[in-house]
Amino acid sequence: MSVAHVIGIDPGLVDTGCVSLTFRPGLKTLIVEHKVISGTDVDAVSDWVYSKRPVKRHVFIEAYRPRQKLDSDQRMVQAEQELRRALPDAKVLPNMGIKRVIPQQLMEVFGVWSWPTVTHHQDLRSAARIAMLGMVKEPRLNTVMADVVRDFLEGRPWSVAHG
């Protein structure tokens, strides 16, 4: 299998977390990159996504669920719509039940549980989780994820590099 590139985005009014996972199966290597963008700067998010390697990227955005009909709900809904326009190939995924599907132990295997950058609501962790949820839902990407987990369980963990 060739290189697989997955990006997860967790939009937020204070911080937007962006995480890139580049899988190199032949080398059994995972390259993890991240960016924290202040607020809902859609242009900055789009610029970061498109600055990544020219391989086909799979982009997953965490869906926003309005809660209390507050001004912040309206701003988040607008930000999600703007992200959909700026990243038309991205898939927007709800995060309901995500912690059961993508638990801490799995995130640790992929090297995306702890981050050197502090954010308002663990935005990088959420971005990584949504990227991994997207992988679960895409058959080709699910195979890559399964390979990483199988190798880990068999005592051959992939090399994880943070760029």
**145 Cβ contact partners less than 8 Å away, ≥ 6 residues apart:** 132, 135, 136
CB 22 within 8 A of CB 158: no
Residue 66, number of CB atoms within 10 A of its CB: 11
Give the model confidence (pLDDT) of 29-43 as tens digits: 999 999 999 999 999
Domain at 4-162: CATH code: 3.30.420.10
- Closest of 163, 148, 155 to residue 25, by C-alpha: 148
Q: What is the largest CA-CA distance in the chain?
A: 50
Instruction: Give the pLDDT of the chain (163 residues) as one tens digit per residue.
Output: 588 999 999 999 999 999 999 999 999 999 999 999 999 999 999 999 999 766 689 999 999 877 776 667 788 889 999 999 999 999 999 989 999 999 999 999 999 999 998 887 899 999 999 999 999 999 999 999 999 999 999 999 999 999 8
